[in-house]
Amino acid sequence: MRRATYIGGLASYVVTGAIGMGVACAAEGEGAANLEEVLVTGRFIEASGKSALKMDVEIRDVPFSLATYGESFMEAVDTPRVADLYGYMAGVQRSGGSGYDISIRGFSSVGSDRNTIMVDGLPGLSARFGSSSTTMLQSVEVVKGPASVLYGRTQPGGFVNLITKKPEATRKTAVELRTSSYGGGGRSFGDDLSYIASVDSTGPIDSQGKFLYRAITEYESRESFRADVDQTVFAVVPSLTWNISDDTRATLMLEYRRGDGTYDQGLVAPNLDYRLIAPITTHYQEPGDTQEEEGKVASLLVRHSFNEDISLNVSVRSVRNQDHSIGLDNQAVRPNLVTLQRVERDQLNKRKYNFIDSQLTAGFATGGIEHKLLTGFTIGREETDQDRLRGFTSPIIDIEIYNPVYGDVPGVGPPQSHTLNKSTSYGFYVTDMVTLTERWKAVAGVRHEKEDQSSEELRLVTTSAQRATYSETLPMVGLLFQPNDVWSLYTSYSTSFVPPQASARPFDPSRALQPQSAGQIEVGVKYEAADGTGSGTLAVFDIDKKDVLQAIGNTGLFDQVGQEQSRGAEVEVNVRPTDALQLTAAYSFIESEITDDVVLNRVGSPTQNAPKHSASVLLRYQLSGFLSNFSVSGGVVHRSERLGSLPTAATRQTLKLPAYTVADLAVYYVGDSFDASLKLANVFDEEYYQHSFVPIRIGAGEPRQLSLMLRKRF
């Protein structure tokens, strides 16, 4: 007899004389009356991943930093938002309000960095603002360091790859309801309720299992801790897998997402002093200011195996995204330090992404050397239509920082710029993963990338159209030594490049802007226990980024003398000391510095939103005996002081965001077909600031929050 219960990626089995998930459990003798209970725990950080080399290989065989955070990890953190996972990932930090705004290894990304967050290896999120949902995800892979050889334009810190749930051959459905309320930061439990309802159903369509389906639907109504700020999101994600033959499989995935919410630009720091920031609930936009977003996505994944050594993968992704913001932007703090200057904004943005990536993988041997050769090409087109329909500034729309009074704002601003930016990229790459001997392995790769850009102003006739073409050849190489079956020592060199935005114009017209380039040297050690009960990675890295674009005031012009450097070390461990306990811990030490800049005061300054010290611990423990259906988890996240603004030409003064430590606790119940969790986030109601895009757009961390999750499985 076997009874199975499920906790996301965790499973608990009662087994008699059987082997469950690789863990053997035998009853003594035939017909044994006593059942032996075996706890089988899915890993927080999985043993393999595909993102680093575009091949599914064990992480210990990859001479780069790669971590795969599975469903067990997401269940233990117990959050509906991907951004909440970053705190438990080594070297990753949120750096702004959009889904693209993250900092990895000291380098920040923005919305124009399309490859910072990818979905199944291709760019283009369905929603640009806020955070992606965990409901649709199977796992999250994080690749550290430059990765342009395989993915084209990427920031040198690395990228996040969201691996979506696919149709499965086993029929199952899960209905989930999550509700939450704040009990800190000036809020009382029950004052405002948020809730998320989702349905996830998958299984075969026909009796032979040639056609499999999956349909995920989610609706969220969220009340923020910030005054008069709320949001609703509706998403539906259907997918279909066609098992054409034993060797060929195709999966089509569609997504529609719509979000409607309050326009919110965060807090401001008068005199660049965090102690002068108003209470975290303060909202400086008008209650009627809105931000709407709609995304439509179609993806096709095709895999064909010619034989056990040669396979072809083709991935296609097309995204249509539109957002419309009508509200008042935070502009500047007036000299009296109690008044905020605002700008009226009515802006409509439309984005299109069309990308295809094709890879042929071949395994073969030359003499005694084994090869796993990957050749591929990527073609992509990105189009951004930015239409600023209205802009208006005047003292009559200023607002008090500490006692904001809302009122009617005249919509009298004239139309501003309307820019159409296009880019088409072509990339061809080759990598070879080589097994030299039983103990030595190597990876080498090269990519040639070309990108054609154009930018056209559709309304302001005084601005001329411009075109540019960028091309680059990029190498990477890695060497790995495995003295035994559990340890790996490696070193690697990798590169990245980021072309200027299509709309960027050079300060010196006689000197064309060049792609920003970076190179990284990394040395590390990886451990993978033979029985799967523990793993870990220690990495030491040095990244140099050159030709960094620097804005010249508010002129819209750029110069290119900037350089940045990031050096540091990261350690991440995942252990299961007992069957009932699993723990992951991470620590990062990162020294990121601006080494050259058109603003001389910035030379020697740390980069923005990059804490020197980051640490986290996450554990989950399953109780025993009559409480064996229950488990508890706890997590602690720490970030040291970091810059929320950079020095200016006039002063070296900066906004310094203070260090913070946040603790979470949760209790879980898992039954035969019913699960529940109760989580208290930010247990001690720590007041902290998570990120600062600029000193007038500061994001406060969430106060104490209680959430209840109920899940019914069929």
Supply the pLDDT for residue 25: 35
> What pTM was computed for the model?
0.92
Supply the pLDDT for residue 554: 58
**In the predicted structure, residue 3 carries a pLDDT above the cut 50:** no
Amino acid code (one letter) for 142: V
Top-confidence range, 12-26, 82-96, 405-419, 451-465: 82-96
Supply the pLDDT for residue 39: 43
Q: What is the DSSP string of 442-507?
A: EEEEEEEEEEEEEEEESS-TTSPPEEEEEEEEEEEEEEEE-SSSSEEEEEEEEEEEEPPPTT-EES
Decide: 464 and 496 in contact? Cβ < 8 Å. no
Least-confidence region, from 41-45, 53-57, 279-283, 544-548: 41-45
Supply the pLDDT for residue 316: 97
Distance of CA 133 to the CA centre of its chain: 10
Give Dmax (Cα) for the chain.
89
Q: Where does 623-683 show beta strands of DSSP type E?
A: 630-639, 642-643, 656-657, 660-670, 674-681
Which of the four pLDDT bands, split at 50, 70 and 90, describes residue 411? low
Decide: 469 and 91 in contact? Cβ < 8 Å. no
Residues 335-375 have pLDDT tens digits of 999 999 999 889 999 999 999 999 999 999 998 899 999 99
Determine what percent of the chain is predicted with pLDDT higher than 70: 92
Supply the pLDDT for residue 460: 82
Supply the pLDDT for residue 85: 94
Top-confidence range, 15-29, 201-215, 642-656: 201-215
**In the predicted structure, residue 261 carries a pLDDT above the cut 90:** yes
Q: What is the DSSP string of 77-113?
A: HT-SBGGGGGGGSTTEEE-SSBTT-EEETTEE--TT-
In whole numbers, what is the pLDDT of the chain averaged over residues?
89
Supply the pLDDT for residue 556: 67
Residues 180-217 have pLDDT tens digits of 999 988 888 888 899 999 999 999 999 999 999 999 99
Q: Tokens for 457? A: 């102003």
Strand partners, 528: 535
Across residues 266-275, what is the average pLDDT?
96
Least-confidence region, from 402-416, 492-506, 675-689: 402-416
Domains plus CATH for the chain? 1-40 (no CATH), 41-341+357-405+418-713 (2.40.170.20)
Supply the pLDDT for residue 553: 60
**In the predicted structure, residue 555 carries a pLDDT above the cut 70:** no
Judged on CB neighbours under 10 Å (0-12, 13-18, 19+), 667 is: middle
User: By C-alpha distance, which of 342, 315, 336 is closest to 251?
Assistant: 315
Helix (H, G, I), strand (E, B) or coil at 75: helix
**In the predicted structure, residue 162 carries a pLDDT above the cut 90:** yes
Q: How far apart are CA 447 and CA 449, in angstroms?
A: 6
Which of the four pLDDT bands, split at 50, 70 and 90, describes residue 27? very low
User: By C-alpha distance, which of 348, 341, 344 is closest to 325?
Assistant: 348
Higher pLDDT, 48 or 473: 473
Judged on CB neighbours under 10 Å (0-12, 13-18, 19+), 393 is: middle
Q: Tokens for 685? A: 């109601």
β-strands 660-670, 630-639 pairing? antiparallel
Across residues 87-108, what is the average pLDDT?
88
Decide: 181 and 192 in contact? Cβ < 8 Å. yes
Residues 444-453 have pLDDT tens digits of 999 999 999 9
**In the predicted structure, residue 37 carries a pLDDT above the cut 60:** no
Residues 510-526 have pLDDT tens digits of 778 888 999 999 999 99
Least-confidence region, from 28-42, 154-168, 200-214, 218-232: 28-42
**In the predicted structure, residue 23 carries a pLDDT above the cut 60:** no
Supply the pLDDT for residue 11: 35
Supply the pLDDT for residue 18: 29
Determine what percent of the chain is predicted with pLDDT higher than 90: 72
**In the predicted structure, residue 40 carries a pLDDT above the cut 60:** no
Supply the pLDDT for residue 42: 66
Amino acid code (one letter) for 563: Q
Supply the pLDDT for residue 24: 33
